[in-house]
Structure 1
Amino acid sequence: MYRIGEIAKLMNLSKRTIDYYTQIGLLNPIRTDSNYRLYGEDCIQIMHLIEHYKNLNMPLEEIKSSIELIKTENGIDKQKLEKHFEQIGILMRHLKEEIEALEPILEKLNGNQKEMVVNKLSSQGVPLAQTLLLLLS
């Protein structure tokens, strides 16, 4: 268990950001008898998810919906799940549009530059593709 200063340092975030995530319900720390907040490993995983979704330019409200879907203990809400997959589809269409817009630029790169871009995309894309395959199988 981590106190707010420890988890802020560990996650490279400000205490204020963690306070905000707690305030809007993204994080649910445990309160001690002296009213200190303690953050567990589940909070670290959620913060990694938040970071991932923020990198995809997803608004915090959508991030919160996605995290609530993941944390659901009483079964899956079909409407929430459908909305979540709809959001993923929108992100995938947006990425496809971005790739198409970048194609002319990519064609101008030399061999070393192309290899560097492919390696960067491969290291990020392979886990994403594996996750999608797992979800869809």
Structure 2
Amino acid sequence: MNYTISEFSELTGFSIYTLRYYEKEGILNPARQNNNHRFYSNHDVEWMKFIIRLKETGMPLKEIKQYANLRELGDKTAQQRMELLIKHYEYLEQQLHILNDHLSNLKLKIQHYQNLI
């Protein structure tokens, strides 16, 4: 299925401005019709879902752009893309450790107040 930029914007939750910015930055590369209008495919939808996941887990836009550029180059960049994802995975594990530590400390503080009351 093909989507116009406005349909794709509604589908992904990204504004048209953001989609155009991502295209300018090389993160998104929609196909063009004969009249030069953009159109997006289900493949683009899946790619945007992955971008959303990377953004929501704290990957900087600079690294997302780097990943997108490598992706455009094809399978010969699989090693570099994997290394970027491993680096991000390690960052997320570190963040989980930090958050779990904060959670444990909050739990202790709540227990202190429960005992006090």
Considering the TM-score relative to the shorter chain, is it more than 0.5? yes
Normalised by the size of structure 1, how large is the TM-score?
0.68
- Deviations 1:60-103, CA, capped at 9 Å, x for gaps: 11123334555653334434433431231122112211211121
The 2-side partners of 1:82 and 1:26 are apart by: 18
Q: Name the CA shift for 1:77/1:6 in 2 (closer, same or farther; >3 Å).
A: closer
Normalised by the size of structure 2, how large is the TM-score?
0.77
Count of residue pairs brought into register by the alignment: 109
**Residue 84 (structure 1) aligns with:** 85
- Deviations 1:95-127, CA, capped at 9 Å, x for gaps: 211211121223537xxxxxxxxxxxxxxxxxx
Taking only the aligned residue pairs, the percentage that are identical comes to: 28
Instruction: Tell whether 2:60 aligns with 1:59.
Output: yes
Structure 1 spans left out of the alignment, 5+ residues: 110-137
**Residue 45 (structure 1) aligns with:** 46
Q: Which has the higher contact order (CA 8 A, sep 6+)?
A: 2
Instruction: Tell whether 2:117 aligns with 1:103.
Output: no
Q: Within 5 Å, which residues of 2 pair with 1:1-137?
A: 1-68=2-69, 73-107=74-108, 108=110
8 Å contact 2:70–2:80 — kept in the other structure? no
- Letter aligned with residue 66 of structure 1: Y
8 Å contact 1:46–1:67 — kept in the other structure? no
Shift of 1:50: 1.3
The 1-side partners of 2:70 and 2:3 are apart by: 25
Moved more, 61-70 or 82-91: 61-70
Q: CA RMSD in A?
A: 2.2
8 Å contact 2:26–2:69 — kept in the other structure? no
